[in-house]
Each structure stands twice: as C-alpha cells, then as structure tokens.
Amino acid sequence: MKTHSEAAEVFNKDFDRTTWHDQTLFMVRQKRDKAAFQIDDWELLRETASQIKNNVLSNMHNYLLQFEENASNNGIKIHWAADAKEHNEIVYGIISDYYRGEIPVDTFKGMVKSKSMLTEECHMNEFLAEKGIEVIDTDLGERIVQLAEEPPSHIVMPCIHWKKEEIGELFHKHLGTEKGNKDPQYLTEAARQHLRDKFLTRPIALTGVNFAVAETGEFVVCTNEGNADMGAHLADVHIASMGFEKIIPQKKHLGVFLRLLARSATGQPITTYSSHFKKPRDGQQMHIVIVDNGRSTQLGREDFRNSLKCIRCAACFNTCPVYRRSGGHSYHSAVAGPIGSILAPNLDMRANADLPFASTLCGSCSNVCPVKIDIHQQLYKWRQVLVQEGYTSMSKTLAMKGMSTVLSNPSVFKFSGKVGRMLMDKLPFLVNNNMNPWYKQREMPEPPEESFRDWYKKNKK
C-alpha cells in the first residue's frame, strides 16, 4: 500500500487533473459558505450542535439503552456488533433467515444499498460477495465507483474524482449507453432505469443512518436521490447499519442537525429527502445493527473522543487544501480527508501512521466543521501519540534528536559553521532524505553575508 505522500505524488503527476479536482471541490466549499452565511445564527447553530454532541458522548450508554427500548417497542429489531466482522455476519444472518437458510441461486437475491460509509468501513460488500450475495450500490456516485471496482473517494460525493467522459465510457461498457455520450442528464437517466429495475426486484435493502433519536426510537436517513427510500419502501427487509455515535437525545435536536448538515455538505438548504423511519410497514422486517468497531475505544481517548461527534458532512474534505490536491484514495481509508485522518489511527495505528502527517495544520477543517471538532488539534496530538508509540522511522527520530540538541545548546547553534550551513543540515524540512525534496521544485534560500545575531552584535551591542 502506498503512503499518503506516495499516492499524492502520483496524483499530482497529472497537473491539469489536479487543478480540476481542486477547483471542483473548492466550488463546493464556496457553496457551503454561501449557504452558511445566509443564516445569521450560523455560528450559534454550530456551537449548539457541538454541545448536543458533547452531551451525547457523555451520556452515550443511557441514550443507547433508551433508543434500543423505544425502537424495539416500535417493532424494530436491534442487533449489536462489536466489530466489522460481527456486523457483516449479522447482516448475512438476517438475509439467511429471510430465505430460511436456503439462499436461492438466482440473480434476484441480494440487496440494494444506499450510502453507508459504515459498510465501507466494514468491507461488507466483499464479505457478502464471497457468500454469493450481490450488493448493488444505488447512490449514483457509489454505483459508478462500484462498477469501476473502486472504493468511494469522498463520503458525500463518492466519484468526485471521475470525469464525465470516463463515466460515459464506463456506462457504455456496463449499461450499454451510447458510445461517446457524456451528457450528465443522459447518463443519470440511464442509471435511473438500470437501478429502478434493481429496486423493484431486490427483497432486501440496506441503508445507513444519519441520526438515531433516543427519545423516540426512530432513525433519519438523508439523501438527495431518493435511493434510500426507493430501496427501503419496496424491500421486504430493511436493514439500517449505524455506528453507535449516530445517536441524538431528542427529536427536536434534529432541527439543529438538519439545518447544518446539507448546508455544510453541498450548500443546499436541506437534502431533498430527510426520511424518518420509526416503524416497519405492515409485513416488513426492520433491523438496526449498532456497531462499535473501535468507537468505544475512541470514546475513552480524551484527546480524540470528539472525533465521534462527526455527522459526515464532508465540509472538512472540501475545504482541505491537501485533500483537494491528493484525492480521496491517497488516504487508503474508508473515510478520507481530515476527519478520516483522525479516525483511522484509532483503528490501526501502524497502517495509518502517515495520515495525521498529511496536513499542514492550517485549521480550515475545524472552522467549517458544523459540530466544531478540533480536527487540526487532533492531527497534532495524533502525531505525538504515533511518535511515542514508535510508529515513525528511526532516521527521523535521530534527525529530530540531533536538531533538538543543536537548538537547545546556544554555543553549538551560534558556532556551527558558516551562516546558513548549520540550518541546511539541521532544519527538519531540509533533512530526512538523501535527495533533498525541498530542492526538487524549489530553490534553497540564499545564505546571507551574516546572521541576524552577528549583525546585532556589530551594530547594537
């Protein structure tokens, strides 16, 4: 697996495409600004949302019990999954039960799925495929990346890295659209027809959960396309997968989050559909799988628990100057971008040790975050943890120690040779590599005649 910087280097080889990717996402950031600035109380709304989530984190145990009780009374079956594997097994179990243990060998078994980053995190599609169950992603963007056999590169806009020519080509190959036709209207219509057929023939639908209300036992799913509803209302079985942090206390709190979510995500005033599922329809089964998969550990990390407040709006992606210029896949994690970089190390420090370093710590992410997660501070703190737990290279550690010695010893610092030379050896951004990466595309600063301290001694003392 490539590290973030290796993958980003490959991404940046195509200069024009990087420009396009950056500009497309920055446009979404600007739409977010425009929508947010139309609400006078925007900052108050963010603060309120943040406080609600703080309360949720502090009372998680009771809210989950309350939710379980209310949802069960509403006729929904609740399942608990400690990790990804258990989640996948539970989903498989539900499917298997539906078919009374004899899953038929025909093309109409299987499931339609609307966007659920959790199932990406759990690699559920692959798991079910191995068991012979096909999962059809029904969000247009997700369907595109699924046909291309890729993971989504963005949690809200899964195929933001694809150009319409390429999508036209892909649809020509898989859906039989006209060769060379890249008109978004035409391609979307083709996907509509293709997926309508799936909605009408698949008996099982899986959706994600945006919010689960403890007070009432209902859950809310937000989409623009209507794919979650098309799936869920036609299927005999509706499975909703949620990380336990999706819980909110009361229904009235939805008002706060629904005002923030779509404005932060795409600049829309609200998503087209904010569907409140409270009870199964007559004759339907409804299941909720509540997943931990490392979240309870994260809840115990004082410095990092705030990351669980995330409502997956992706505003931090769109504003991130590094994400925009490296693409979602360079983060090698189901959730990319700044939030992904503080979530992923919790799951696997070794595999994700590079991610907290894939940032300049500019802080824009924390400023757009609708629930005020201190993302850039957590990136900084993860760096400290990763170094102390030994997930950085020995050479970097030695360089840092060497630098620390020089910099904390004035006599060495002052007399370590010709002006500029000492720093060229010791400054962190100028070490670490045989082929100095600074110099690849940048000139080195020109060493001056004398240092400031020499000038000061001559002229002032």
Partner 1 sequence: MKVALFIPCYIDQFYPKVGIATLQLLEKMGCEVVFPQNQTCCGQPMANSGYEHITGDCTKLFQDNFDEYDYVVSPSGSCTLHVKEHIPLKGRIYELIEFITDILKVESLEGEFKHKVGLHQSCHGQRGLHLSQMSELNAPFFSKPEQLLKNLKGLDLITLDRKDECCGFGGTFCVAEEAVSVRMGQDRLGDHLKNGTEILTGGDTSCLMHLEGIIRREKHAMKVMHIAEILNQAIS
Partner 2 sequence: MSSRENILSKIKQNQPELLPLPDLSVLGSEKYDLVEKFTEILEGIGGKVLQVSDIEEIKNYIISNYPINARVISTLPAFSDNRDWQTADPHSLKDAEFLIIKGQFAVAENGAIWLTESEIGQRVAPFITQYLAIIIEKSSILPTMHQAYEEIGSIDYGFGVFLAGPSKTADIEQSLVLGAHGARGLVVFLV
Alpha-helical (H) ranges within 2-82 are 4-11, 15-37, 42-58, 60-73
Task: Give the containing element (helix H, strand E) for 136.
Answer: strand 135-137
Instruction: Transcribe 282-320 into DSSP letters.
Output: TT-EEEEEEE-TTHHHHHH-TTTGGGGG-----HHHHH-
Contact partner at residue 299 from ligand SF4, partner 2, partner 1, none, CB < 5 to 8 Å by partner kind: partner 2
For partner 1, which stretch binds (CB under 8 A), given 181-189, 201-209, 284-292, 396-404? 396-404
The span from the CA of 100 to the CA of 98, in Å, is 5
Task: Choose from partner 2, ligand SF4, partner 1, none: what does 181 bind? Cβ within 5-8 Å by kind.
Answer: none
Q: Is 199 in the site for partner 2 (CB under 8 A)?
A: yes
Phi first, then psi, for residue 101 (nearest 5°) are 80, -10
Distance CA 91, CA 124 (A): 9
Query: In degrees to the nearest 10, what's the CA dihedral of 9, 22, 228, 231?
Result: -60
Only one of the segments 132-140, 158-166, 185-193, 401-409 lies at the binding site for partner 1 (rule: CB under 8 A); that segment is 401-409
**Torsion of the alpha carbons at 93, 232, 257 and 375, rounded to the nearest 10:** 50
Task: Please tell me whether residue 203 binds partner 2 under the rule CB under 8 A.
Answer: no
How many other CB atoms are found less than 10 A from the CB of residue 329?
20
Question: Residue 410 CB, nearest distance to ligand SF4 (Å)?
Answer: 42
CA dist 392 to 303, 356, 416, Å? 20, 12, 28
Residue 350 contact partner, candidates partner 1, ligand SF4, partner 2, none, CB within 5 to 8 A by sort of partner: none
Q: Which does 103 bind (CB under 5 to 8 A by kind): partner 2, partner 1, ligand SF4, none?
A: none
CA distance 403 to 399: 6
- Tell me the three-class secondary structure of 262-286, residue by residue: HHHHCCCCCCCEEEEECCCCCCCEE
Which of 117, 147, 187, 212 is close enough to bind partner 2 by CB under 8 A?
187
Pick the closer one to ligand SF4 by CB: 262 or 373.
373
Burial label for 435, CB within 10 Å (0-12, 13-18, 19+), is exposed
Site for partner 2 (CB under 8 A): how many residues?
Answer: 91
Nearest CB to partner 1, comparing residues 344 and 368:
368
Q: How far apart are CA 250 and CA 20, in angstroms?
A: 42
Contact positions with partner 1 (CB under 8 A) in 153-192: none
Single residue of 43, 47, 126, 189 touching partner 1 by CB under 8 A: 43
Q: How far is CA 303 from CA 270, 342, 351, 376, 378, in A?
A: 32, 11, 20, 12, 7
User: Counting contacts by CB under 8 A, is residue 277 touching partner 2?
Assistant: yes
> Is residue 415 part of the contact set for partner 1 (CB under 8 A)?
no
* Nearest CB to partner 1, comparing residues 185 and 408: 408
3-state secondary structure of 111: strand
Query: CA 395 to CA 428: how far, in whole Å?
Result: 12
Among 16, 37, 220, 228, binds partner 1 (CB under 8 A): 37
Interface contacts to ligand SF4, rule CB under 6 A: 264, 310-316, 339, 368-371, 373, 375
Closer residue to partner 1, CB minimum distance, 78 or 400 = 400
Residue 258 or 373 having the CB closest to ligand SF4: 373
Is residue 139 a contact residue for partner 2 (CB under 8 A)? Answer: yes
309 scored as a contact of partner 2 (CB under 8 A): no
Q: Which residues, 357 to 376, sit near partner 1 by CB under 8 A?
A: 357-364, 366-368
Give the single-character DSSP code of 156.
Answer: S
The residue within the footprint of partner 1, chosen from 25, 36, 242, 308 (CB under 8 A), is: 36
- Whose tokens are 């280097």? That residue is 9
Helical (H) or strand (E) element with 248: strand 247-248
Tell me the two tokens of residue 181: 């036709």
Q: Does 60 bind partner 2 (CB under 8 A)?
A: yes
Which two three-digit tokens encode residue 12? Answer: 């940046």
Q: Which does 313 bind (CB under 5 to 8 A by kind): partner 2, partner 1, ligand SF4, none?
A: ligand SF4
Applying CB under 8 A, does 4 fall inside the site for partner 1?
A: yes
Q: Which of 100, 179, 442, 458 binds partner 1 (CB under 8 A)?
A: 442
- For residues 208 to 247, the per-residue mask of contacts with partner 2, x marking binding by CB under 8 A and - elsewhere, is ----------------xxxx-xx-xxx---------x---
CB under 5 to 8 A by kind: which of partner 1, ligand SF4, partner 2, none does 370 bind?
ligand SF4
> Is the CB of 151 or the CB of 356 nearer to partner 1?
356
Which of 11, 63 has the CB closer to partner 1? Answer: 11
For partner 2, which stretch binds (CB under 8 A), given 180-188, 318-326, 332-340, 396-404?
A: 180-188
